[in-house]
Chains A and B, each alone.
Chain A
Amino acid sequence: MFNFITDLARYNDLMLSGLLETLYMVAMSLFFAIVGGIPLGVLTTITRPGHILPNKPFNFILDGIINIGRSIPFIILMVAVIPLTRMIVGTSIGTNAAVVPLSLAAIPFMGRVTDNAILEIDHGVVESAQSMGASPMQIVFKVLLPESLPAIILGLTLTAISLVSYSAMAGAIGGGGLGDIAIRYGYQRFQLPIMVETIVVLVIMVQFIQFFGNQIASFFDHRS
């Protein structure tokens, strides 16, 4: 027991930096998921047949991008995009390098989440906006996004949590973060306390993300 605690104390700095690295990776890729995934999702929905800008070929391509992106296992994606990562970041090792595959996984995920969130909106609401003479642009920004905001925020929460676990995988190829620590110290050096601590920290982190995600979503939700 004594060893356990001194071990933890000894590795305090290590844990802290690991936590910060994980947060950094999640936050960065979440940012790219928002910037890339939400527009991808919106474009996919509105080009569906019967929606405001139906376009079959375009919809087919976007839907395909989302499906392909989501069907590649993350560990494979991570390795497969190494050349791209090198091109963008200059290296394939470290937290910045991990952000590239993480974002590439998060963008289609967020795209599908957004697509589903917008599809949930009653089509009558869209039609009422059309009947008032709203342009497709106005419908997107004044109807689709505000009406699906609570669902999008919940989706973002889901994405963030997936990213936490993906970022642990990124640790395996030198991405840094808590996952990296768990593998190097906990697994390869048999330091069980470190392993346990990283897990505890990850669990708490996920709880926090879910809690705040729910809070923010319900703040914007006026449906009941």
Chain B
Amino acid sequence: MIKIENLTKHYHVAQGKVEAINGLNLEVADGEIFGMIGPSGAGKSTLIRMLNLLEKPTAGTININGTDLTELSSQNLRTARQKIGMIFQHFNLLSSRTVVGNVAFPLEIAGVKKKERRKKAKELIELVGLSDRADHYPAQLSGGQKQRVGIARALANNPDLLLSDEATSSLDPESTKAVLELLGKIRDEMNLTIILITHEMGVIKDICDRVAVLESGKIIEEGKIIDIFSRPQQSLTKKFISSVIDFDLPERIIKHVKAERPGELIRVSFVGETTNDPHISDLVKHYSVDANILYGNIDEIQGVPFGTLVLDLEGQLTNIEESISYLRSKDLRVEVLEDV
């Protein structure tokens, strides 16, 4: 388990003090894929680089499986780092070594014998699906292939934890998908914990179990993916979600609808089981309101259906209010859209 307490990083620059990370607390369970998202400058990169002490924290502790990394001697830190794999946005492969050479590199550092190194490297290259490229140099590979070499390399010393620093940010959508699938696969097969940072909500949606939203060096929202997607609290979180699932009507249309008709404009969000029941027709039957569907969308987040409807309810005000509480009683999330 990874337990981060009061993690703080302050820089001193010519213009004064920069508070990159401010007293951050976090726990990540074994085998979890934990995502951290935030706009650029939020401190994501600083945070993930502190997890293997590439960046030295100003204060706080980083406890990985019972060992506080910040208290280790440099010799012990090097040994501990062998059990923390890391992959990078720009891959950072050695241009002077072939694929096999790159994957064997961390084993060489750990002092593994040459024969074993080669054997282990070949296995990992097979795992990431690059056996036919084993003797190629990085310059001869595509971005997606380079990142797969990066992943194989990060796994060489059988790490407990894999850190991913924007690993898919410089890849095309197809390679991104393949790399994310690979990460999911190795988590399942090797039972390792993955902490990733990204600025793409799609990455979070596809493979993370939990997510933390970072803003100005602080976690402003944290939770399971489905909870965050269905009930985002912070406006930044909503902004990130809307980049992958858009459930807003254009403002002009909301204004237009509200101006033309009396009644309420509501947004209903539903998750999982509730998507199967015909709540809206119940509503129309029992509360004598008319429901005009302006917008509807169903998506799936890691196998859980998840959707949104925007309804224009017409009828007597009391009936509308009753119907809203009816929907809420059915475990649906209802928001009344205000004038913008």
Contacts and interface: CB of A to CB of B under 8 A. Distances in A.
Given A142-B108, A222-B137, A135 B92 contact: no
Contacts of B143: none
Interface in A175-224: 220, 222-224
Contact of A124 (B82, B92, B153, B157): B92
A133 B81 contact: yes
A91 interface: no
A224 B137 CA distance: 9
Nearest to B79: A133
Contacts of A128: 86, 88, 92-93
Among A122, A132, A134, A142, chain B packs the most CB atoms within 10 A around the CB of A132
A129 B153 CA distance: 11
Interface stretch (A32-40, A68-76, A108-116, A143-151): A143-151
Closest 7 CB pairs of A and B: A133-B81, A128-B92, A133-B78, A222-B137, A124-B92, A132-B106, A131-B86
Nearest to A131: B86
B55 to A, nearest CB: 10
B97 to A, nearest CB: 8
A132 B109 contact: yes
A130 B81 CA distance: 8
B54 A127 contact: yes
Contacts of A224: 139
A132 B54 contact: no
Decide if the interface of chain A is mainly helix, strand, loop or mixed.
helix
A17 interface: no
A33 to B, nearest CB: 22
A188 B186 CA distance: 78
B105 to A, nearest CB: 7
Contacts of B235: none
A213 B263 CA distance: 82
Given A133-B109, A135-B78, A222-B96, 20 more contacts: A122-B92, A124-B88, A125-B93, A125-B94, A127-B54, A128-B92, A128-B93, A130-B54, A131-B81, A131-B86, A131-B163, A132-B86, A132-B105, A132-B153, A133-B106, A147-B94, A147-B96, A222-B95, A223-B95, A224-B139
A142 B139 contact: no
Contacts of A146: 94, 96-97
A147 B86 CA distance: 20
19 contacts: A122-B92, A124-B88, A124-B90, A131-B84, A131-B86, A132-B106, A133-B77, A133-B81, A133-B106, A133-B110, A142-B109, A147-B94, A147-B95, A147-B96, A149-B96, A222-B95, A222-B137, A223-B95, A224-B139
Interface residues of A, number: 22
A138 B109 contact: yes
B61 interface: no
Nearest to B157: A132
Interface of A: 122, 124-125, 127-135, 138, 142-143, 146-147, 149, 220, 222-224
Contacts of B106: 132-133
B268 interface: no
A204 B304 CA distance: 75
Contact of A131 (B52, B79, B95, B139): B52
B207 interface: no
B66 to A, nearest CB: 19
Interface of B: 52, 54, 77-82, 84, 86, 88, 90, 92-97, 105-106, 108-110, 137-139, 153, 157, 163
Nearest to B140: A222
B134 to A, nearest CB: 15
Contact of B92 (A127, A133, A223): A127
Contacts of A149: 96
Contacts of A147: 94-96
A132 B82 CA distance: 5
A146 B95 CA distance: 9
Contacts of B109: 129, 132-135, 138, 142
A125 B54 CA distance: 13
B204 to A, nearest CB: 23
Contacts of A127: 54, 88, 92
Contacts of A133: 77-82, 106, 109-110
Contacts of A124: 88, 90, 92
B92 A125 contact: yes
A125 B153 CA distance: 13
A51 to B, nearest CB: 13
Contacts of B138: 222
Contacts of B82: 132-133
Among A149, A222, A223, chain B packs the most CB atoms within 10 A around the CB of A222
A132 B137 contact: no
A220 B96 CA distance: 7
Contact of A122 (B90, B108, B110, B157): B90
Nearest to A124: B92
A143 B96 CA distance: 9
